[in-house]
Structure 1
Amino acid sequence: MGLRKKKQRAETATRHSDGDGEGPRFGAPTGDWAVELRGVRRQYGRGTGAVHALRGLDLALPRGSFTAVMGPSGSGKSTFLQCAAGLDRPTEGTVRLGGTEITGMSENKLTALRRTRLGFVFQAFNLLPSLTVEQNVLLPMRLAGHRPDRRAAAAMLSRVGLGDKGRRRPGQLSGGQQQRVAIARALVTSPDVIFADEPTGALDTTTATEILGLLRSAVDGMGATVVMVTHDPSSAAWADRTLFLADGSIADRLERAPAAQIAERMTALTAAPAAYAGAAA
């Protein structure tokens, strides 16, 4: 997919936004979204002690796009990621990934979908120390019951700059190199969506920039879709758009914004999340 076409699709998604008291809404329902949440609520507990982690999210993220998700502590970022990736089930609403509704799927089908159509990158890398780098990259294929494609693993390791590290163990690599392996593992099955949870949180600034560049190039060069939760405005500035959560709702968004502007919005949102969400709606 060309960069111009992807940009037009992303702009189309944002032009369809409207406020309804729950925060901006993104996109109209179609079969061409990588991630689509409609009326998603997630409540923990009941009665007066209930916690409303998500309060009716409506959004659609286009394929081949990079979205950052930010918000104060307790705003619902982690719950959003878990529900969007099928790791948690919403109390109400529907979730679609690559056009497939996952809300009512059995656990077995959800597990199979995550192994074949989703990629994950975590702050802690989550590599298996007893396996080689190549074996870690091939793990999603093995878990899905597919024959490991060593050529695909080698090609992906080369893409992330680790073409000569396939036989090493994770413990022999730096933190930045281990995160590169995690990105190669996430990309090797050509997933519909890559979910990244604070992928640069354990890295120094220079290494973090390299990792974010890899995620950006995966979107621009491979047509990947990345959804990244982060607390860092500099990281969010690599994305096509930044969504701001507050009290379980989407409070605001920015398109292709610099780090300083993102930081300014986060400061305002953290200072008065309820008022800011109301103003954004």
Structure 2
Amino acid sequence: MKVRRGRRQQAEAGTGVQDVASGFAVELRGVRRQYGRGAGVVQALAGVDLALPRGSFTAVMGPSGSGKSTFLQCAAGLDRPSAGSVRLGGTEITGMSENKLTELRRSRLGFVFQAFNLLPSLTVEQNVLLPMRLAGQRQDRRRAAEVLAQVGLADKARRRPGELSGGQQQRVAVARALITRPDVVFADEPTGALDTGTAAEVLGLLRHAVRELGATVVMVTHDPSAAAWADSVLFLAEGRFADRLDHGSAEQIAARMTALTGRGVMAGAAA
């Protein structure tokens, strides 16, 4: 099944790899990723074509084993595809050296993970500034204060992560992801460890980053309620994008997942 697209998306997807002026933040062309060899080969991605415009919020869903994690890793340059091309912010990353990939991730990408991944020995401010430090940039404390204010933690800069609630820690992770004004923020189950109310607060921050800051967010999630915050939901099945839903409600997204997998999904699993 092909992903359902409007005329504009079809025209953009059919023009081949775009240059930096195209307005695309993330582009995958013919991306395949397989593991193993011979009879034991696993085709995690089986030919993915995708072009996401700058300033968009996209959710990626699919049943277990559909290729969601592999998609995110290949799109973010954390894993190399077996075939195909990946471009981020107009830059071809497929053949980059590990050193250049690391530099690109630190300076032009942001990451938000389910487990927060904050360093417990550092203060909130130091955790937020860590991408700048690792990239060899001047650690701009004024910028750190700015993003902490954006996530509602202006008064927590001197605290340690262990002194914060789970929701506050995830807010710190969002601030850290935004500190370098990245081309793309990749979020991997960012609400998986949060209760429903706190999850909505974090998703609201990602939505704000797109709407007010011009960020591009790509979020992998199992939760239809979380996916409903996105502009578009892409559904993966057996390593391919099998469907698309724009501006869908949680109920519509859950129904589309049910139709895709032939079994129910937990519409209320806003863990």
Same fold (TM over 0.5): yes
| CA displacement, residues 159-195 of structure 1 (integer Å, 9 cap, x when unaligned) | 0000000000000000000000000000010000000
Tell me what 1:16 maps to: 11
- 1:98 and 2:89 aligned: yes
SS of the residue corresponding to residue 224 of structure 1 reads: coil
Of 75, 84, 90, the residue aligned with 2:75 is 84
Q: 2 CA distance for matches of 1:26 and 1:176?
A: 41
1:259 matches 2:247: no
Aligned to 2:60: 69
* Cα distance in 2 between the residues matched to 1:104 and 1:72: 30
* Residues 1:235 and 1:109: Cα distance change in structure 2 (over 3 Å): same
- Structure 1 CA distance, aligned partners of 2:89 and 2:82? 21
Structure 2 segments unaligned to the other structure (5+ residues):
264-271
Residue 30 of structure 1 and its aligned partner are, at CA, apart by 2.3
Query: 1: CA distance between counterparts of 2:112 and 2:130?
Result: 14
Structure 2 partner of 1:30:
18
Partner of 2:157: 166
TM-score by length of 2: 0.92
Paired position in structure 1 for 2:173: 182
Structure 1 consecutive aligned stretches of length 4 or more whose deviation exceeds 6 Å: none
* C-alpha separation in 1, matches of 2:206 and 2:17: 27
CA contact (8 A) 1:133 1:168 kept: yes
CA 1:114–1:264 in 2, change beyond 3 Å: closer, same or farther? same
CA contact (8 A) 1:27 1:59 kept: no
Structure 2 letter corresponding to 1:179: Q
Aligned equivalents of 1:28 and 1:103: distance in 2? 16
Match of 2:269 in 1: none
TM-aligned CA deviation for residue 14 of structure 1: 2.8
Q: Partner of 2:209 in structure 1?
A: 218
Unaligned segments of structure 1, at least 5 residues: 1-9, 18-24, 273-281
Shift of 1:16: 3.2
Shift of 1:47: 1.2
Query: 1:175, 1:203 within 8 Å by CA — same for their partners in 2?
Result: yes
Aligned to 2:233: 242
Aligned residues: 256
Q: Deviations over 1:197-248 (max 9, x none)?
A: 0000000000000000000000000000000000000100000100000000
Find the counterpart in structure 2 of residue 59 from structure 1.
50
Match of 2:262 in 1: 271
Aligned letter for 1:30?
Answer: Q
**1:68/1:142 Cα in 2 relative to 1: closer, same or farther (>3 Å)?**
same
CA distance in 2: counterparts of 1:177 and 1:27, whole angstroms? 43
Aligned mates of 1:66, 1:27 — CA distance in 2: 22
2:33 to 15, 25, 42: 42
Sequence identity percentage: 76
Q: Which residue of 1 aligns with 2:267?
A: none
| 1:11 Cα deviation from its structure 2 partner | 6.5
Alpha-carbon separation, structure 1, partners of 2:71 and 2:209 = 23
Separation of aligned partners in 2, 1:187 and 1:155? 10
Give the deviation of 1:13 after TM superposition: 4.9
2:113 paired with 1:122: yes
TM-score, normalised on structure 1?
A: 0.88
Question: Which of 84, 91, 100 is matched with 1:109 structurally?
Answer: 100
